[in-house]
């Protein structure tokens, strides 16, 4: 695929290879890793606009960032336009460069609450949310799916609504809400959306290799790709796509990620995050099953460090 800068309104991303927001994973240390590997930007985990209103500890942790994160992009989740506007314009988000609106999360409790992918069935409310978030003065992107079910494919209509409402970019997961995270992405839907808008369209879903990214771009004509779960398993994908040279192994990455996690988070959260990341690093790797089982018996960083030294030597 062609690597090129990406223009979002008056803001430029260094390239068109993006890391998707993933709940439980795209915390500050991991976003820095994606940046180091070559990603144009990595979004925070989804932040509830309602949670932001109450300023709880968990939400504050999701928003942690520093000057070392060159481009700061936050993903907001919510279904009430006024609450979303208040969150977008809040002091807590003042340090972020980009606001992404979650209109694609398929999780049942979020869908039932009228948030995430439920907004695919309410274009009027979705439009109002975008318009009111734009009052923040920041570039606004939208992440969505191609529809709710097999008979509800509305990628083009939804993309056009996003553009008309003021969105500066749209990222389309090429699956319906009912498909969750399985099945082949429907390239045609992303291509149809790309054909009706002028704003950048980023293609997401089913990208697990450079070849997959190339195919996604060829089939859809999208302006860039967004990597999801494969970014956790193989963060080198960003370097492979952008041509960046990276020599450090997974053991070194885990060591550096652990240092950051323990520096910025409490021990319980840090250990939980490192275990989850290491589990992805071990995925599909021969000889890792025993190490993975032992990892969950480790209760301290010292024990984890010793295990990682053996597993990733």
CA angle 171, 175, 176 (to 5 degrees): 105
Q: How many of the other CB atoms lie within 10 Å of CB of 222?
A: 25
- Please tell me the distance from the alpha carbon of residue 217 to that of residue 300, in angstroms, as a whole number: 43
Catalytic residue among 27, 105, 144, 162: 105
Q: Are strands 6-8 and 11-13 parallel, antiparallel or unpaired?
A: antiparallel
Q: Let me know if 105 is a catalytic residue.
A: yes
Cβ atoms of 216 and 188 within 8 Å: the answer is no
Per-residue b/e over 143-176, b at no fewer than 16 CB within 10 Å?
A: bbbbbbeeeebbbbebbbbbbebbbbbbbbbbbb
Provide CB contacts within 8 A for 259, sequence distance 6+.
none
Provide the 10 A C-beta neighbour count for residue 84.
25
Q: How many CB atoms lie within 10 A of CB 225?
A: 24
Positions annotated as catalytic residues are 105
């Amino acid at each position: 695929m062609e690597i090129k800068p990406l223009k979002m309104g008056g803001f430029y991303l260094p390239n068109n290879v993006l890391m998707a927001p993933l709940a439980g994973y795209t915390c500050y240390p991991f976003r820095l890793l994606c940046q180091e590997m070559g990603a144009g930007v990595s979004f925070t985990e989804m932040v509830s606009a309602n949670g932001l209103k109450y300023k709880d500890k968990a939400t504050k942790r999701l928003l942690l960032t520093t000057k070392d994160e060159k481009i700061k992009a936050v993903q907001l989740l919510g279904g009430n336009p006024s609450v979303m506007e208040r969150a977008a314009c809040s002091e807590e988000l003042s340090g972020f460069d980009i606001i992404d609106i979650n209109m694609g999360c398929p999780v049942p409790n979020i869908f039932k609450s009228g948030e995430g992918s439920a907004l695919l069935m309410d274009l009027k409310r979705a439009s109002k949310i975008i318009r009111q978030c734009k009052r923040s003065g920041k570039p606004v992107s939208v992440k969505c799916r191609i529809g709710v079910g097999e008979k509800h494919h509305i990628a083009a209509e939804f993309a056009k609504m996003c553009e008309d409402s003021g969105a500066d970019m749209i990222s389309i997961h090429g699956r319906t809400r009912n498909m969750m995270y399985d099945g082949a992405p429907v390239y045609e839907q992303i291509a149809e959306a790309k054909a009706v808008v002028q704003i950048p369209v980023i293609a997401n879903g089913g990208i697990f290799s450079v070849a997959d990214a190339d195919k996604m771009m060829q089939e859809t004509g999208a302006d860039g790709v967004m990597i999801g779960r494969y970014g956790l398993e193989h963060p080198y994908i960003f370097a492979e796509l952008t041509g960046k040279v990276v020599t450090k192994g997974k053991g070194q990455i885990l060591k550096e990620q652990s240092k950051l996690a323990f520096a910025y988070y409490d021990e319980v959260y840090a250990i939980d995050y490192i275990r989850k990341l290491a589990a992805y690093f071990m995925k599909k790797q021969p000889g890792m099953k025993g190490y993975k089982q032992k990892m969950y018996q480790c209760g301290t960083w010292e024990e984890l460090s010793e295990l990682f030294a053996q597993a990733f030597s």
